[in-house]
Structure 1
Amino acid sequence: MTATRSLSFKLYPSPAQAAALARKHLMLKDLWNAALEERIGAWRHSQTRVSRSDQEKALKEIRLGLEGWCGLVHTHEAQVVLKRLDLAFQAFFRRLRAGETPGFPRFKSAERFRGWGYKEHGNGFRVEMRDGGRHGHATLFGIGRMRMRGIARTPGRVLKADVTRTVHGWMLNVVVETGCAERAPAEGQAVGLDWGVSTFVTLAHEDGAFEELPNPRHWDLEAEDLKAEQRRLSAAARARKISQRALRKHRRALARRHAKIAARRKDFLHKTSARIVGRHRLIATEALAVRNMTGSARGTAEAPGRNVAQKAGLNRSILDTAPAGFLNMLRYKAEEAGAEFFEAKTRELKPSQRCPDCGAVRKKTLAERHHDCDCGCRLGRDEAAARVLLNWGLEESRRRQNAETSNPAGTVGDQAAA
């Protein structure tokens, strides 16, 4: 059984290579903007749509006509940029049909253009990892061979890669095909997991114990300081009391601080998910619709919303915990460790409203932090929800085992062949 994993390495180019990377970055940024302008102009003047294949066919003329392009920009790099623009248009039309905020594709400055990609190892890029996946060298078309640093926990066959420019320098993100089950086998009790904001997760164990992991609130710890610094910087820029060079320097410093917050959040999520998976053979939680949870309460001009500022603050707190990323980490780590992972449909199970003892459903407001049922069950709201998820997960596990017992592997295929 194989799986794909993403590995991240930091590139260490020489001064000449760094200058070449910057030139390539600007050329591909200009390609994005030119391709977007072509699509807009064609529709504005003749109501015709320019397809991705039409733009890819023009790449040969672009390579010959633009000075400095040939020998620095690989065809696959340009094709990936055009593919990403086409995907942006597809997403725009999909949102338009669904009645959502469309979000038309934007022209990009050098700061907003993150980077480019490669479709196939050996075409435009090559990665040489050391034994065990620690560090190595990367070769990029038009740039040359350079050192890279990073640790690949699951090295494998390199499929494709992306080059991105961050506040920390140039990064190479490599997708590899690797064998699964690289993690130590999961052992221990089954657990029900309820995610939250006031408490990051509440764990209900099979033996009746429960555990709460506090929310570290990475953003809140530095939010006021960052906002004040941003206001001072904006005021100085409007009053022209700061040079453009100093302005760029301060912006990079702010970006680094934000990147550090993101890195601390990611580190916490990885360590927490690894700890939970390593201690439990079965994990049951609920599927989270983060987009619905963080929707704006602003409303419309005809029907304005209520408590808009409070909902915006709640949305920031929700996104600060990165629930979608956390569940994704739990999912693939459970797969690697051989643990059972179940996600309940919230609208069907209603874990926050259901009693874990008798199964009765009673609607609670968000202000109600305790579960008090007529059957005599009295628990904290989060613990009760976690126990509902645990009961449901154990039942799903038994149902799956019964199905495998009654229909062992190969039976269905043998019957079909017969």
Structure 2
Amino acid sequence: MTTERAQEKRQFGHRARLALTPAQVRLLDAQAHAARATWNLLHDFWMMTPKCRRSLKAADEAIRRARKEIDWLAVLPAQAAQAVLKTYHQAWKNCWQGRADEPNFKARLRTVMSVDIPQGRDLQVTRVHRRWGMVNIPKFGRVRFRWTKTLPVGRQADKDNRITGARLVKDALGWHIAFRVQTLGTAPPPHAGPEAGIDAGVNIPLALSDGNHQDHGRPPRLPDGTADRDKWLNPDEKAKLLCLERRAAHRKSIRRHGEKTSRRLQNTYDQIKRLRARATRRATDWQHRTTTELARTYGVIVVEELDIANMVKSARGTVENPGKKVAQKSGLNRSISQEAWGRTVTMLTYKAARHGGTLHKVPAPNTSLRCSACGFITPGSRKDQATFVCENPDCGWSGNADHNAARNVLHLYRMGHALIPAAGRAVVRRTCGVKPAAAR
């Protein structure tokens, strides 16, 4: 007798690289700058308008009037301008509920260039080759993109399986398109795999309680003991990066105070950004592959509830009370940030659910100091970042510190100490925007 499983909707994103000519790059850059300028003009309009007159209708009318009167704002499609307004209003909602700070001015050099395409029907995605697809961009035309994942297009698309929108994003490696995809599929059966506790570390990126540690094969530190910030680059790329950084430092030193950055210096900065972006993509690719394998293997995954923002705070103090081991703490902070533990947990959360498994979080205190063999807790048991030696005379267990912490994480889950996600509470801050109706 077979049991029919329920259908569930899934939403995921897929990012692909666009193949653009230099002229097309300039056109997309113009749209991105228009979107950023629309945000800034909308922010000025919102802050200068009296509170009693602020409304989405008034802001929408202001955007429409600006697009008619300013030619370079009209380069941005109307739907993309409406998406800017929607995003700006959502930013205020996040501020009112205490999830973020107030929306602010977007600077040209510190803002990610992006354009939103909120409606999927405008894209008209088609596959023209085994490796290439075509997508239509409003007020731009059809362009090619790398086809690396099956998308619901053509006869495969319907109201339940379709592309709902996309966002164009530019980084140091060029323009990319991030599709928003909605699918309807059968809910996966409960995963019958084993349980595993995971401890995120620096020496071992992901230490598992059963010893199946996941290592990316790149040492976190150099021979002199300092953190290796370029571990995802090969030796030739590291040498090139060092040469570019020295060149940039030299060209910056001969620039006069207040003088505009030269094209040569800006070109050097762009080459450095491309190498950094390449390293980031390799790290993200390793995270995706590793988390997918873990979600397929284990039915229950247990991790620590870490406050990463507090963990990477600087140890620097005041002149009267200077911080201790500031250089060592900064190197540790850099290593923690490079491993991107929060992104790993996010990937494990949705991938475990996709394969029928579950992810649980347990309290983090004392998982690194407790002996997983006898339960004895002493501050001196953690000899260094990599070694744990139990100081209980009746035990004396020794091993890798991250492996010991992973076993403790799994033990806490089995003892019933899994955390229950708290319901979000609406926190209203005193801001310059219009308060929500519940707070009036």
Superposition TM-score, scaled by structure 1 size: 0.77
Q: Which moved more, 1:132-141 or 1:336-345?
A: 132-141
Rate the CA distance shift 1:148–1:212 in 2: closer, same or farther, 3 A. closer
State the SS of the aligned residue for 1:278.
helix
Q: Distance in 1 between matches of 2:129 and 2:318?
A: 56
Q: Distance in 2 between matches of 1:75 and 1:346?
A: 48
Q: Distance in 2 between matches of 1:54 and 1:133?
A: 48
| Residue of structure 2 equivalent to 1:108 | 107
| Residue of structure 2 equivalent to 1:73 | 76
CA contact (8 A) 2:312 2:336 kept: yes
* 1:137 shift after superposition: 1.9
Alignment of 1:3-402 (within 5 A): 3-13=10-20, 17-39=24-46, 42=48, 54-70=58-74, 72-87=75-90, 105-109=104-108, 112-122=111-121, 125-130=122-127, 135-152=132-149, 156-179=161-184, 188-205=193-210, 211=213, 213=215, 216=218, 217=220, 219-221=229-231, 226=241, 229-240=244-255, 244-299=262-317, 303-347=321-365, 350-363=366-379, 367-368=383-384, 369-372=387-390, 374=392, 375-376=394-395, 378-380=397-399, 381-394=401-414
Q: Aligned-pair RMSD on alpha carbons?
A: 3.9
Q: Distance in 2 between matches of 1:226 and 1:325?
A: 26
State the SS of the aligned residue for 1:2.
strand
Rate the CA distance shift 1:292–1:203 in 2: closer, same or farther, 3 A. same
Higher relative contact order (CA 8 A, sep 6+): 2
Rate the CA distance shift 1:192–1:56 in 2: closer, same or farther, 3 A. same
Rate the CA distance shift 1:243–1:331 in 2: closer, same or farther, 3 A. closer
CA contact (8 A) 2:302 2:410 kept: yes
Q: Distance in 2 between matches of 1:127 and 1:371?
A: 61
Q: Distance in 1 between matches of 2:293 and 2:70?
A: 53
CA contact (8 A) 2:198 2:207 kept: yes
Report which of the two has the higher share of helix: 1
| Residue of structure 2 equivalent to 1:413 | none
Rate the CA distance shift 1:275–1:247 in 2: closer, same or farther, 3 A. same
Q: Which moved more, 1:143-152 or 1:17-26?
A: 17-26
* 1:12 shift after superposition: 2.6
Q: Distance in 1 between matches of 2:243 and 2:69?
A: 48
* 1:310 shift after superposition: 2.1
Unaligned runs of 5+ in 1: 401-418
Q: Distance in 2 between matches of 1:132 and 1:90?
A: 43
Q: Which moved more, 1:283-292 or 1:82-91?
A: 82-91
* 1:340 shift after superposition: 3.3
CA contact (8 A) 1:187 1:281 kept: yes
Q: Distance in 2 between matches of 1:271 and 1:136?
A: 24
Q: Which moved more, 1:290-299 or 1:211-220?
A: 211-220
Rate the CA distance shift 1:303–1:180 in 2: closer, same or farther, 3 A. farther
Q: Distance in 2 between matches of 1:132 and 1:352?
A: 52
CA contact (8 A) 1:168 1:256 kept: yes
CA contact (8 A) 1:128 1:137 kept: yes
Q: Distance in 2 between matches of 1:331 and 1:131?
A: 34
Deviations for 1:227-257, whole angstroms, at most 9, x for unmatched residues? 6633531331341499833223212211110
Q: Distance in 2 between matches of 1:163 and 1:128?
A: 14
Q: Distance in 1 between matches of 2:255 and 2:25?
A: 31
* 1:180 shift after superposition: 5.9
Deviations for 1:36-88, whole angstroms, at most 9, x for unmatched residues? 44456x28xx8999666543231121122112544x32222113223444555
CA contact (8 A) 1:29 1:113 kept: no
Q: Distance in 2 between matches of 1:321 and 1:391?
A: 25
Amino acid at match of 2:171: T
Amino acid at match of 1:259: A
State the SS of the aligned residue for 2:368.
coil
State the SS of the aligned residue for 1:107.
coil
* 1:317 shift after superposition: 0.4
CA contact (8 A) 1:164 1:171 kept: yes
Q: Which moved more, 1:16-25 or 1:167-176?
A: 16-25
Rate the CA distance shift 1:327–1:14 in 2: closer, same or farther, 3 A. same
State the SS of the aligned residue for 1:235.
helix
Aligned length: 384
Deviations for 1:264-287, whole angstroms, at most 9, x for unmatched residues? 111211222223233333322212
Rate the CA distance shift 1:32–1:340 in 2: closer, same or farther, 3 A. closer
State the SS of the aligned residue for 1:82.
helix
Percent identity (aligned)? 24
Q: Distance in 2 between matches of 1:310 and 1:230?
A: 23
